[in-house]
Structure 1
């Protein structure tokens, strides 16, 4: 931790963190190279100076290079809680290394946390994720791209049954107000990082993220909140499937919502009464078993169509049924099929 403390003293009064010489000059960039290759963008250390990763005068690595390197010491922490408070953990993850890797792995994990609830309107089943995927993506990008990296603390994401909070270090830059950013005004703290994310098409243009988050909740009663202090920026996304505080739904409507569960590894040490939430899945399991009894086998696509669920949820459901000894999974990818266990 000496390294972080020394960094904090050096960077505290820096005008531009990105351009300062990195304390660690033994850097590798495997995760960054993967991100470039994934988007068919040429990756070459010859471009490091123009990208802001090397100082043009002495060719030393900059702090921007350190952030993008595999040796980056900043982390992203995600905690999932039971209920609407923060007293009982369901799961917690910490992502480290290059901030490109943290973005990729963090977003993948948030997609697993983002449950889908099913409601029936007449004969039609309507599936709705707890959080709009675009809002999750933009809130995560905002936290990573615009945080103040001169602080050594982690980006914190807390998820419970009511909302998801994204907390990053660093308030607004001098001269900006909350109203300014809500109106699309952008003054990036980490300009070169933002430019690089724009080049990789992680963002479309400056100043559009907050607007996208708001628009993702256009048809919802509850709206996102932005809480800003001198040293923190918090985005709160309400759970679209939770009961509205202003206008509570009747119990009949609330009980008609059926959730798919979190994967097993996200529920270490749950009490027996907490496990009762899995009973909502029994009807889906019976539907799958009945189908297999009649048709003998089923593809993953057929499972999605039968239950009207997404690919990720189909994967979690089939894996749980396999672990319980109900089905056998053969093959991978498009050739994956499910059979009853004999």
Structure 2
């Protein structure tokens, strides 16, 4: 949070517009599925604010239509109550207004994820002071085109250096190249816990997920299915014998 002086008064300037956060939480309450026993979750990470609303999108609604202002109200009575209290305006204006406010604050457009099991909206924060962007660091370091020859030596040093791609490591005296095997982790902190458990133990069940994350069975299953959709896990078995293992596709 920062501040600015207007006249003789100090006005606080927030990193993420409070009005946008308020609109997102109200939107989640009005449009969530109350048949799903999950809860609305608000999480703050170093790089983003994350708001998750249980329940898939209503039939006929899509992410793109939602961003364009098309509204399909799931809970009409609740929406009218919020409108009566002047907490929401006319239907369909909320999401476009949130996007405009976030972009006006100098942040990137909010990210909308999911829609099949739940809906997650991420608002990414500015770079935190003291954290260095590795890409900027790489661009700042320049490799010299030539290497000075060492005096009093019979061995010649090549004039040019060979730049090795970031994703490949060359083995000395060998024509083989070893790919970078760095494991890509999910964005969500809960999904990271599950993924690390699978990497260490080989598989995980819904019951184990409930114990690890301290969430309800329905929420645990939703997290696992989302990781399957994102390509981190693969579902094996059926009914009570279902387990989730590391996916071999694209991770």
TM-score by length of 2: 0.46
TM-score by length of 1: 0.34
* Structure (1 or 2) with the greater helix fraction: 1
Larger radius of gyration: 2
